[in-house]
Amino acid sequence: MAGKKIGILALQGAFAEHEDALKRCGVDALQVKTADQIEEIDGLIIPGGESTTIGNLMCRYGLDSKIKEMEAKGMPIWGTCAGMVLLAKEIVDSEQFRLGLMSIRVKRNAFGRQVDSFEADLDVVGIGKTKGVFIRAPYVEKIWGEAKVLSEYEGKIVMVEEGKKLATAFHPELTEELGIYKYFLDKV
């Protein structure tokens, strides 16, 4: 990964924690706040937070079109929680902005409210055991096309990949585990 730089969309949400995890992986990280900064990175993480707010800010600052342009050129993208919602082509009962880059239908806040947050042990294809921290988490109701399920919790899809795109309903940045980061970095 020498010389590669991973951006974390830093408009709202848990971007600092992703930056810390990337540094623990020995990777250069950049907090991305402008469309020009997208040109400087080799991969992008869209963090958890509030998907409507992040989406509105992406549009306001022109990041939405730049992210789509770079994804079309092959840039790997990983969305966690709200980032998963923003990557989805379909969001249940919502017309909110989304990038629409993954062939998934997502249900927002599907595991309940903030007070319903929890941790769970997960089995992830290609990674093994990992801890999942779920905070007002979505889950994937449906996949199609090239999308593949990598993990489920109680029969609900909580991690998917499609080409160089990855989406998790949970927050790996809130654990000490780096397995999912390394899996994403292998796409870069």
Catalytic residues: 81, 171, 173
Tokens in use for 95? 């017309």
As a whole number of angstroms, the distance between CA 95 and CA 111 comes to 20
Question: Token pair for residue 114?
Answer: 């903030």
**Which parts of the chain fold into alpha helices (H)?**
15-24, 35-38, 51-60, 63-72, 82-87, 179-185
CA distances from 23 to 5, 15, 29, 144, 181 (A): 11, 13, 7, 34, 11
Q: Which of 84, 100, 78 is nearest to 166 (CA)?
A: 78
